[in-house]
Structure 1
């Protein structure tokens, strides 16, 4: 049987994407998706915030139009990154996007304040 590492996420963008410079002119885009799931013991237990990244300039071009609260679909692979920090070995899990598309850009909420 072949090994498979495929992730599909659909969730809300938790904030504006971040851009980090790499060597040369390359950069990485980093964003977080809030994904709801069933079975949580409390409202806080029924969501996951998942870090996503892409190094692909074609995907990054589309990400530049995203804003907080957008509904995003990401397809990619789970990665476990390791490095040595000042306090010793460190690591994190993230989804490296092969595709990332905007599914819904919510309309701005209307101002419900009453003028007096």
Structure 2
């Protein structure tokens, strides 16, 4: 019998500030998007993927709070397909649920010139 595996490893740039959503009770989910480049893309439209990532883990969320747009992040986790009902009918999306997420590069911020 073949064992099923759902493992994702991504390294990409943070496309903006992470978002926070409150769940029932005091729980939160952190949501962010990584821009992952394809160096061998056939066209400019295929040159990047923007991938939604989430974590429910408070330990990972502590790290997420320090991230900023443009940071290079490594995410390891599993691909999930979420479903829900909206006013227009059934909806769904794919996202990576992070089991770990670490800052790999925090690009130097441009500082204002002092005269």
What is the CA–CA distance in structure 1 between the aligned matches of 2:62 and 2:107, rounded to whole Å?
Answer: 20
Matched, 1:59 2:60: yes
Normalising by structure 2, we get a TM-score of: 0.93
In the alignment of these two chains, the number of paired residues is 113
What is the aligned partner in structure 2 of residue 72 from structure 1?
73
What is the aligned partner in structure 2 of residue 13 from structure 1?
14
Normalising by structure 1, we get a TM-score of: 0.92
Superimposed CA distance per residue, residues 28-63 of structure 1 (whole angstroms, 9 cap, x where no aligned partner):
000000000133233232100000000000000010
What is the aligned partner in structure 1 of residue 104 from structure 2?
103
What is the aligned partner in structure 1 of residue 29 from structure 2?
28
What is the CA–CA distance in structure 1 between the aligned matches of 2:17 and 2:38, rounded to whole Å?
Answer: 23
Taking only aligned residues, the RMSD between alpha carbons, in angstroms, comes to: 1.4
Matched, 1:91 2:92: yes
What is the CA–CA distance in structure 2 between the aligned matches of 1:110 and 1:24, rounded to whole Å?
Answer: 41
SS at match of 1:74: strand
Offset at 1:5?
0.2
SS at match of 1:61: helix
What is the aligned partner in structure 2 of residue 37 from structure 1?
38
Offset at 1:111?
5.2
Matched, 1:3 2:11: no
Segments of structure 2 that go 5 or more residues without pairing to the other structure are none
